[in-house]
Structure 1
Amino acid sequence: MNQDKVTAMDIARSMPGIMKRFPAIARGLYYYSIKDTQKTLTLGTLVENNAEKFGNRPAILFEDRRITWADFNAWANRIAGYLQAQGLKKGDSIAVLLENRPEVLAVVTGAAKIGVACAMMNTSQKGKVLEHSARLVSPKMVVVGEELVSVFDEVKASLALDHPTPFLFLADTNTLNTFGEAPAGYANMAQQVSTFNSDNPVLSDPPRTGDTAIYLFTSGTTGLPKAAPGSHNKFLKAYGGFGLMSLSMKPEDVFYCTLPLYHGTGLVVCWGSVLAGGSAFALRRKFSASAFWDDVRRYDATVFGYIGELCRYLLNQPPSDQDRNHRLTKMLGNGLRPSIWKEFKERFGIETIAELYASSEGNIGFSNFFNQDNTVGLSTAPYKLVKFHDGTRDPIRNDKGMLQEVAKGQPGLLIGEITKKWSFEGYTQKEATEKSILRDAFKKGDAWFNTGDVLKEIGCRHLQFVDRMGDTFRWKGENVSTNEVENIIDGSGMVEEAIVYGVEIPKTNGKAGMVTLVPNKNNFDINKLLAYMRDNLPAYAVPVFVRVTGAIEKTGTFKYRKVDIQKAGYTLERPNEEVYVRLPKTEGYTLLTPELVSDIDSGQFNF
């Protein structure tokens, strides 16, 4: 198979492997296809089933801790009892602000058992953005890890939560029965939880498959982050679709995950797959390219979760005679570029790449079920690839007002039909949900979810990711909202106008942030602006490039000519403008010169 084609012969070659995995595939199809939202099959019951079947096997591996399924389930039950004693009930929510560690999974599971949803706060957020996210879901309580208390304290006073003791502290001790000392204004959650019963809760009105289990925060396409509710059914789809149908996970498998658990890929896709096998989940707090393979060997991992950038960082490490000294043969994630796909497989001895396409809020997902190269796979959901306006996420309508499909093999905007089976759970904000829906697309009364992403078919209904369109771009594995960054910059008082977009840097994945701005001549200082942005934005959202200009061109209807500015990238061809770059391992912005541009273009810097 070549890079851009999947043929019937390629599918045929994969069939012997498919037949060997048929029992797991058939079981996975059952979970993936569940339609009844009133079932009592939930995240909590999946954990309880594993505790019953695989009680003494490891559920979580973290640093020097080994937590069995029985112990993990008992821990989650004590948390469920504690939250009930705090007056929380089905339909309530709590916010969770913790770095990757076992407590994240225990809190999410314990809350899920009694129908309380966990809002997974992005640990990179701070200041106004963190405050905004916390307000979106109106949580009753906030669980804050010791490692993030100083960040949360900056916004704590501005949150008026409906609970007498709303702030819960979890010490960063990495031991089950060492509770630490809670700061003033916080209850010591672990200490209080330890006194509760460890039996499975018995409820008169238990949570259902269609109830909200988590909220995931997404940059979306405009403005500040939006909260996307995720039902227990999302875990069931990951359990069946990825854990069983794609990976055929078993109790002996160990899934190594360095992806943040506030993201759907880490929490739902990776952990959902672990649940399917009764496997072990080996966690690392943050990704480290240099420590990656040592961890894989330490935990005897067989699978790992990735984003495209992660794979590129691993390839950039010096080759070693230890590159294949491990038991890891499978990987699950998204964003692996075709340009490094084959090299990655061959260097590290990978047999199965379960590449996927999905979004936190979306109603459509793709999975590389047949283990083909350079594809996100196929989907059983109804979808179309349609024509769109360049530089936007807006589809083109014909003179009858209808959308138009692209020719086979051409890039098109991916849209997923909204049906009873393929429902769109949307966001907590109704107006944001409606903006993502395309109505009367092909016939009166139909509705489709606009992914904002461009893909193309490469044969046998297999798609390949092309680009992310509109007002969002992806950098360092994160979605960056241009409007969010623009709003923060506007609030600095140092600029008159600012327009943010993503630009490509050769030999990197995603798009780096860039802002073109008109400075406020009275108080503009580029490095003071940088300090302000660092205080109010996640590190990945701070622009890498800044173009300083006297005016930003607009159309006759006062819209910015964003496409023209974006095409210029960080070149120095536009007269009377200065361009700055934030080079790796430097503290401030550096004025770009032709020599620096040449060095960046040739890959001299590791962005």
Structure 2
Amino acid sequence: MSQTTQTDLIGFADVAERLPKFINKIPNLLSGLKQAYIRTPNSPAGLGLAFERATKNNPYGDALLFEEQRYSYKELNNWANQIAHFYLSIGIKKGDTVTVMVENRPELLATIIAFAKLGVTSALVNTSQTGKVLTHSINLVKPVAIVVGEECRVAVDEIRQDLAIQPENFHWFADQETQKGAGKAPKGYINLAEVLEQFPKFNVPTTHSVKGKDGLFYIYTSGTTGLPKAVIFSNSRWTLAYGTYGHVLNLNEDDVMYCTLPLYHATGMVVCWCGAIAGSSAFAIRRKYSTSAFWTDVQKFNASAIGYVGELCRYLMDAPASENDHKHRVTKMIGNGMRPNIWGKFKERFGIQEILELYASSEGNVGFSNIFNFDNTVGFSPTPYAIVQFDKEKNEAVRDNKGFCTKVQKGEVGLLIGKITKRSPFDGYTDPEKNKSVIMNDVFKKGDSYFITGDLVRDIGFRHAQFVDRLGDTFRWKGENVSTTEVENICSEYPKITEAVVYGVEIPNTNGRAGMAAITLHDGQELTEQDLSQMVSDFKKNLPAYAVPVFLRIQEVVETTGTFKYQKNKLKEQAFDPAKTSDRLLVLLPNANAYCDVTSEIYANIEAYQYRF
């Protein structure tokens, strides 16, 4: 969000006007807030406990829907118990970490519940990772075992010799409905579905000994070193999300939450799923997002709520109008990244009444949720935070002559920081050095500490904010965080490229920022037609699809500051406009297999939204 109007500003009268519609949510919300905030690090807490509670509340109601598969709460709980009993039998215990690399399907969720009941931390690896990045992600958290879906096995096999996991702890699920057929495991893997048959279905005794401070997930975020960082997501943190976002959604046993987001990300795994668990509702998932199948799936599963990121909403808006647009019972949605320019249009076209936009990060301690259902806001925050003046040129918060920060005025933009307290702790990364870099001390008085979100937001009043931009060395594209350094490293491996500077640029009517690389070539080198296709092939081989640079800029020399930092601000400003530079500009158009030059005509077409990036 980069623009705001006076109508976006919120005051007490605006909130009071919405209270009548909000009142019916209050009992459920208070119940959630009680669970979220009346807890200590040593209180029993977390996903395992909440799932057993939902099973007790609605044992025969649908818990999970996938393709033609249907699991009641009791069936899914029984399956998870068998997995948990197996892992207990081989000595896996609370405090251990197990890597889980399975795409969105029931086997993933049954495994996650099982580990949650044991107090085992599930390392949720991005299923599109391969090679060095995958090796790094797995070894980083020192897992004692790995659970691999057949759909991800080739990627794991390629790096298996580099993993510090005992050979007998490579476990496998066939890429099929394993509750009906275990399949045949490849050499070197234990077939989980096969061994589970001999284990009991009753609840394991460990669930109530899992405490808030115990790890639940590792969720990976883009690292400034070019490799992913692992963020510990504790059971206490999950309970906070469950008590707030989960109960704000206000689902019940008749509801179905449809989620196509990757479940290795917190929006899908935490926010969407905990909304279903909080209401003892059904969670309908799809392996990968599909625009053409979206509303058909919604009808098939009789969904009443959907999870989203901004890019998903744009894809749905771009699709041709259809009778399916209103042939459903979806009235509410939860997620993040809804753009102001489609917010109202989306509600009108698809009959949505509530957009529960939220703000949170895998590693952060501050969250917002649009509980009052205003437009164009990430919502209200009950957690302690501040929005402080920020100097973009110096890339740091502004300090006064006493060394303290200053909060922005209502309507102004600043850096969002979250106060670190016992109730709003910073769980941190696996690397203590990274923790130091994201904590700001002595902000408003000596001795206080705040988490630096790295996000610029606008204060629009009554503890509401609008998201504006992301700072630093990551940007979001296709709903994913892209590490500029990771892309720079891959680009620089191309034989003719000597250096690459990667940054995000805005394309009109899209969400986030598309990747652009300013590259310099080795002396005397030029890019041929073969290079333009070969680069695409190489980049796609070594990077997830969303991280492949959309634009290239060929420079003779990379501009740096006196401290040898890249001059990215100027590059971002000029972006891919051929009128602003004499450098050669290239673009990878949708469905193309090679870069082509950005002509004035192509530029005009991009600006006019003629291409669907």
**What letter is aligned with 1:227?**
A
Match of 2:390, SS state, is coil
Q: 1:44 aligns with which of 37, 41, 48?
A: 48
Which residue number corresponds to residue 589 of structure 1?
Answer: 595
Which residue number corresponds to residue 539 of structure 1?
Answer: 545
User: Between the two proteins, what is the percent identity of the paired residues?
Assistant: 47
Which residue number corresponds to residue 101 of structure 2?
Answer: 97
Between 1:362-371 and 1:560-569, the stretch displaced more is 560-569
Deviations, residues 109-168 of structure 1 (Å, cap 9, x unaligned) = 10111111100001122222111111110111111111111222222221122x341211
2:562 & 2:370 partners in 1: Cα distance? 46
Match of 2:325, SS state, is coil
Which residue number corresponds to residue 442 of structure 1?
Answer: 444
Q: 1:286 aligns with which of 285, 288, 291?
A: 288
Shift of the alpha carbon at 1:532? Answer: 2.4
Which residue number corresponds to residue 112 of structure 1?
Answer: 116
Contact 1:10 1:372 in 2 (8 A): no
Between 1:452-461 and 1:333-342, the stretch displaced more is 452-461
Change (3 A) 1:575 1:213: closer
Which residue number corresponds to residue 271 of structure 1?
Answer: 273
Match of 1:201, SS state, is coil
Q: Determine if the alignment matches structure 1 residue 578 to structure 2 residue 581.
A: no
Match of 2:15, SS state, is helix
Contact 1:3 1:374 in 2 (8 A): no
| Alignment map for 1:7-46 (pairs within 5 Å) | 7-46=11-50
Q: Determine if the alignment matches structure 1 residue 174 to structure 2 residue 177.
A: yes
Shift of the alpha carbon at 1:9? Answer: 3.0
Which residue number corresponds to residue 155 of structure 2?
Answer: 151
Match of 1:12, SS state, is helix
Q: 2:380 aligns with which of 378, 381, 385?
A: 378
Shift of the alpha carbon at 1:575? Answer: 5.2
Between 1:350-359 and 1:18-27, the stretch displaced more is 18-27
1:222 & 1:474 partners in 2: Cα distance? 17
Deviations, residues 31-77 of structure 1 (Å, cap 9, x unaligned) = 22133121223211111112222110010011111100001111111
Change (3 A) 1:491 1:402: farther
Change (3 A) 1:205 1:379: closer
Shift of the alpha carbon at 1:488? Answer: 2.4
Contact 2:346 2:352 in 1 (8 A): yes
Shift of the alpha carbon at 1:439? Answer: 1.6
When normalised by structure 1's length, the TM-score is 0.96
2:345 & 2:411 partners in 1: Cα distance? 25
Which residue number corresponds to residue 243 of structure 2?
Answer: 240
Match of 2:311, SS state, is helix
Shift of the alpha carbon at 1:392? Answer: 7.2
Change (3 A) 1:222 1:358: farther
2:72 & 2:441 partners in 1: Cα distance? 48
Which residue number corresponds to residue 255 of structure 1?
Answer: 257
Deviations, residues 467-511 of structure 1 (Å, cap 9, x unaligned) = 111211110000111112112223444322111000001111110
Which residue number corresponds to residue 460 of structure 1?
Answer: 462
**What letter is aligned with 1:306?**
Y
**What letter is aligned with 2:398?**
I
Which residue number corresponds to residue 231 of structure 2?
Answer: 228
**What letter is aligned with 2:376?**
N
Deviations, residues 340-361 of structure 1 (Å, cap 9, x unaligned) = 1111111111111111000001
Shift of the alpha carbon at 1:226? Answer: 0.3
Contact 2:241 2:271 in 1 (8 A): yes
Match of 1:509, SS state, is coil
Unaligned stretches of 5+ residues in structure 1: none
2:532 & 2:344 partners in 1: Cα distance? 42
1:439 & 1:529 partners in 2: Cα distance? 44
Match of 1:291, SS state, is helix
Between 1:123-132 and 1:261-270, the stretch displaced more is 123-132
Deviations, residues 163-188 of structure 1 (Å, cap 9, x unaligned) = 34121111011241311111122111
Which residue number corresponds to residue 478 of structure 2?
Answer: 476
Shift of the alpha carbon at 1:454? Answer: 0.7
Contact 1:366 1:378 in 2 (8 A): yes
Q: Determine if the alignment matches structure 1 residue 55 to structure 2 residue 54.
A: no
Computed over aligned residues only, the root mean square deviation of the Cα atoms, in angstroms, reads 1.7
Shift of the alpha carbon at 1:390? Answer: 1.6
2:580 & 2:258 partners in 1: Cα distance? 47
Change (3 A) 1:459 1:540: same
2:587 & 2:33 partners in 1: Cα distance? 49
Shift of the alpha carbon at 1:230? Answer: 0.5
Contact 1:222 1:472 in 2 (8 A): no
Unaligned stretches of 5+ residues in structure 2: none
Match of 1:290, SS state, is helix
**What letter is aligned with 1:533?**
F
When normalised by structure 2's length, the TM-score is 0.96
**What letter is aligned with 1:589?**
Y
Q: Determine if the alignment matches structure 1 residue 4 to structure 2 residue 5.
A: no
